[in-house]
Amino acid sequence: MTEPAPRYPDPGCLTGEGAGGTEAASQELVVGTLLEAQGAVLSLAGELDMATAPALRRALDDLGAPGATIVVDLAGLEFIDSSGLNELVLALRRQRDDGGDVVLRSPRPHTRKVLEIAGLTQLFTVT
């Protein structure tokens, strides 16, 4: 008896083009800003990846002030890759160099796991 050939996913499924699909592979990142008594809160929703990381950088650059603490609310974040992690680390470095900080708030379990695997829960304050 012969075994069936292994089935691999259609490469187009990674881009949303397989099986007649037209959906984009990367979801939009929605960045919201709220000023609270303790400082600025940047809320993220959607996917933080190579395509959307520049939007986060612009938002962080707009909020960065010497000595300020920026809270990044991750509750709405559905996906993060190394590009997104890099932007968070760069923001932390810039803020700490200027006497401030970046705090990560309310990550979903899968996002917390990525932060833990990358060793970032030891670098950031995660609440």
Counting the structural domains of the chain, the total is 1
pLDDT of residue 66: 83
pTM over 0.85: no
CA 103/CA 97 separation, integer angstroms = 15
Quote the domain boundaries for residue 104: 27-126
pLDDT of residue 55: 95
75: which residues sit within 8 A by CB, 6+ positions away?
A: 43, 105, 106, 107, 108
Residue 96: CATH number of its domain = 3.30.750.24
Within a domain: residue 19? no
- Per-residue model confidence as pLDDT tens digits over 4-58: 443 333 333 333 333 333 233 446 999 999 888 778 899 999 999 999 999 999 9
- Per-residue model confidence as pLDDT tens digits over 79-116: 999 999 999 999 999 999 999 999 999 999 999 999 99
Within a domain: residue 84? yes
